[in-house]
Homo-oligomer: A and B are copies of this chain.
């Protein structure tokens, strides 16, 4: 049962936020945190939230000192209408986990069928026992839909059961006066406009204070009981309350179905109409229809995203959990992307980072390439904002994607470790090429991909310059934020080189096919620029220290003293929370993989010997204070033949959220880490590589595992790899014949045929 997560524990303040995250429902469009329908005691630190992907307001972010063109406002994901609040009343007693006696309390996430469930056996202070089951779903098939099925069964009494179900437009974002990093007071960014009781449903619209966006929610209820139900609705300030009550007998099931449908002005011209039409359709189809289609949708998802670990059930479950969360988080249209915390919480304010392209997209590219295309199309849609960002930084040409954003504008408040991470341009270029190599989708390249590649390549030409015959890139920040605004960051320069060459390669390909002219005209590209790109790539300065035989992280990195990690007390980690940035900058100490990440992505730029030496060097000075680090160290260890290290770095990182290892899952899941774990297995342990030269694997099996298998798509084919103790089985599940290299040998795979390779 690796697709089912159960938590059977007392609900208290310390796990409240964590469970809200773990049991959130999302479908890439809407996300609802798994808050208790009946609420929690007022003093608890709860983040009661419902989010629409890409829906934001703009808020002021004043700089302490005013310098030209600094970012002084940011987009922030908004908490929208609360439709998850439902109070249960048994005669005159309100149900709450904090009163009476909780005889059973199980929460379940069912990833096979796509819902969450609360199962409670509760005895009221007056002794009335009820069995409660609350099932919630955000539909993957009807993205605007969130449902609650609230079922109550009296166990030892006959009496009155009432529901008070709320539709609250009056909401604000999370705040925490005890944490200086969060807003101390909840500001109202979303102003209710219309909050009305309609015929058979309630409707609320709100608009943002500054971004001029609107959203609408409509809510309808169905009460199912054998006795006659009394229903009524009324309005209280900016909320509508629906009350339904029934006199019922012992053992009878009372069910309240609550349907919430959302719409927003980014995607819908006629907000209200769209929501109401969707609601009508939903009510017509009924709940079971959506349960069934959800199951079907997920069946297909698990079929093509199969990744199973044998011999470690906990890991197997964690891996499934991660993939499921990525699906829940991923944009299903081009108006949005994947936030660092998905739609599970307000951490990082719902911003999209390079995490998408470098850590999450690879999973979708291999298993669900349409979603990858959607993610890349989002980047295409914000090209203009990326152009403005480049201009505001003084670049005469090219585009620079924002380090963090929702709708495209740069939202990074401290540019030295935000905006200065120019490598994001190269990361997006890399993701485009990966998508192209994996799918062969040249149409996408023609329509969107090559334009992004050329515009980002142009930026590198503008940001870099020649010095002593080498193309150098100064004053940028690499992935490692413990060293900022440095020169010739190894990772960045590799990225830039790759980006330039990718742009040139596809330019030539499209030119050969006579399909480049439209783009050339559109972006006024000169042939000379292509020459310049090739030359810059060729002369790109990739640092190498002869004496030490390693690649320095930047041109002065090795001249700095090495941070004494051994003597740093445990409570001083993560370092960024305990040391002034300027202090960190002055040491050889890395927050995360930087040069080592380059070894995963750009392995041909150096010898295996250099990589091994460098790996061992950086290993000693990396704190892994970022959740994006250990997975990369694991992958590269796999590829360099350090199997034990590969497994050790992989370690429990798959369980980061499930076991709340960083103790901050309450603010939301870590989507990039989830993607990173997937890569650690598929690209690491199995050493899957896809490039212009084809596909290859060179797997190993971690000692503690009995086996693992996974499917991936390559040029339209679906391939399944099964790594066992002594043999590797490759199978073509869908598609026509395909060639795959396993270790050093090329194999031809025919449909539904297996190739078995003995490797021990």
A interface vs B, CB < 8 Å? Answer: 61-72, 180-181, 392-395, 412-416, 418-420, 463, 465, 467-468, 472, 474-475, 484-485, 487, 555-556, 558-561, 576-586
Which residue of chain B has its CB nearest to the CB of A554? B556
Which residue of chain B has its CB nearest to the CB of A578? B68
Which residue of chain B has its CB nearest to the CB of A465? B561
Residue from A67, A180, A418 whose CB has the most chain B CB atoms within 10 Å: A67
**Are B416's CB and A416's CB within 8 A?**
yes
Contact partner, A579, options B63, B394, B474, B577, Cβ 8 Å: B394
**Are A414's CB and B474's CB within 8 A?**
no
**Are A586's CB and B463's CB within 8 A?**
yes
- Determine the distance from Cα of A344 to Cα of B148 in the docked complex, in whole angstroms: 68
Given A463-B586, A556-B555, A556-B556: A581 and B65 interface contact (C-beta under 8 Å)? no
A443 CB to closest chain B CB (Å) equals 37
**Are B582's CB and A64's CB within 8 A?**
no
Q: Is the interface of A mostly helix, strand, loop or mixed?
A: loop
**Are B580's CB and A413's CB within 8 A?**
no
**Are B556's CB and A474's CB within 8 A?**
yes
- Across-interface contacts of A62 in B (CB, < 8 A): 62, 64
**Are A413's CB and B560's CB within 8 A?**
no
- Across-interface contacts of A72 in B (CB, < 8 A): 64
**Are B487's CB and A484's CB within 8 A?**
no
Given A68-B578, A582-B393: A474 and B560 interface contact (C-beta under 8 Å)? yes
**Are A68's CB and B393's CB within 8 A?**
no
**Are A65's CB and B414's CB within 8 A?**
yes
- Across-interface contacts of A474 in B (CB, < 8 A): 556, 559-560, 585-586
**Are A583's CB and B393's CB within 8 A?**
yes
- Across-interface contacts of A392 in B (CB, < 8 A): 580
A-B contact pairs, 26 of them (CB 8 A): A63-B413, A64-B70, A65-B414, A65-B418, A67-B414, A67-B580, A68-B576, A68-B580, A68-B581, A69-B579, A69-B580, A393-B582, A393-B583, A394-B582, A394-B583, A468-B559, A474-B556, A474-B586, A475-B582, A475-B586, A484-B485, A485-B485, A485-B582, A485-B585, A487-B559, A555-B556
**Are B64's CB and A414's CB within 8 A?**
yes
- Inter-chain pairs besides A66-B180, A465-B559, 16 sampled, C-beta below 8 Å: A62-B62, A64-B70, A64-B72, A67-B580, A67-B581, A68-B577, A68-B578, A69-B580, A70-B581, A394-B584, A415-B580, A416-B485, A474-B556, A474-B560, A475-B586, A484-B485
- Across-interface contacts of A577 in B (CB, < 8 A): 68
- Across-interface contacts of A181 in B (CB, < 8 A): 66
Which residue of chain B has its CB nearest to the CB of A181? B66
A588 CB to closest chain B CB (Å) equals 10
- Across-interface contacts of A67 in B (CB, < 8 A): 414, 576, 580-581
A475 CB to closest chain B CB (Å) equals 5
- Listed from nearest, the 4 A-B pairs whose CB atoms lie closest are A394-B583, A64-B413, A65-B413, A65-B414
- Across-interface contacts of A393 in B (CB, < 8 A): 580, 582-583
Which residue of chain B has its CB nearest to the CB of A60? B64
Which residue of chain B has its CB nearest to the CB of A395? B583
**Are A580's CB and B66's CB within 8 A?**
no
- Across-interface contacts of A576 in B (CB, < 8 A): 67-68
**Are A585's CB and B413's CB within 8 A?**
no
- Determine the distance from Cα of A428 to Cα of B493 in the docked complex, in whole angstroms: 40
A586 CB to closest chain B CB (Å) equals 5
A419 CB to closest chain B CB (Å) equals 7
- Determine the distance from Cα of A578 to Cα of B415 in the docked complex, in whole angstroms: 17
**Are B413's CB and A582's CB within 8 A?**
no
A279 CB to closest chain B CB (Å) equals 41
Which residue of chain B has its CB nearest to the CB of A583? B394
- Determine the distance from Cα of A392 to Cα of B579 in the docked complex, in whole angstroms: 8
A621 CB to closest chain B CB (Å) equals 15
- Determine the distance from Cα of A582 to Cα of B389 in the docked complex, in whole angstroms: 12
A526 CB to closest chain B CB (Å) equals 21
**Are A582's CB and B419's CB within 8 A?**
yes
- Across-interface contacts of A580 in B (CB, < 8 A): 67-70, 392-394, 415
- Determine the distance from Cα of A223 to Cα of B578 in the docked complex, in whole angstroms: 64
- Determine the distance from Cα of A56 to Cα of B62 in the docked complex, in whole angstroms: 23
**Are B467's CB and A412's CB within 8 A?**
no
- Determine the distance from Cα of A64 to Cα of B66 in the docked complex, in whole angstroms: 11
- Across-interface contacts of A485 in B (CB, < 8 A): 416, 484-485, 582, 585
- Determine the distance from Cα of A413 to Cα of B70 in the docked complex, in whole angstroms: 13
**Are B412's CB and A65's CB within 8 A?**
yes
Residue from A71, A484, A583 whose CB has the most chain B CB atoms within 10 Å: A583
- Determine the distance from Cα of A398 to Cα of B560 in the docked complex, in whole angstroms: 19
- Across-interface contacts of A61 in B (CB, < 8 A): 64
Which residue of chain B has its CB nearest to the CB of A468? B559
- Determine the distance from Cα of A24 to Cα of B758 in the docked complex, in whole angstroms: 92
A127 CB to closest chain B CB (Å) equals 51
- Across-interface contacts of A582 in B (CB, < 8 A): 393-394, 415, 419-420, 475, 485
A157 CB to closest chain B CB (Å) equals 53
- Determine the distance from Cα of A307 to Cα of B442 in the docked complex, in whole angstroms: 78
A324 CB to closest chain B CB (Å) equals 32
**Are B475's CB and A559's CB within 8 A?**
no
- Determine the distance from Cα of A576 to Cα of B394 in the docked complex, in whole angstroms: 12
Which residue of chain B has its CB nearest to the CB of A481? B67
- Across-interface contacts of A555 in B (CB, < 8 A): 555-556
A403 CB to closest chain B CB (Å) equals 11
- Determine the distance from Cα of A560 to Cα of B487 in the docked complex, in whole angstroms: 10
- Across-interface contacts of A420 in B (CB, < 8 A): 582
Which residue of chain B has its CB nearest to the CB of A412? B65
Residue from A181, A556, A582 whose CB has the most chain B CB atoms within 10 Å: A582
Given A394-B579, A580-B70, A580-B392: A465 and B585 interface contact (C-beta under 8 Å)? no
- Across-interface contacts of A66 in B (CB, < 8 A): 180-181
**Are B559's CB and A68's CB within 8 A?**
no
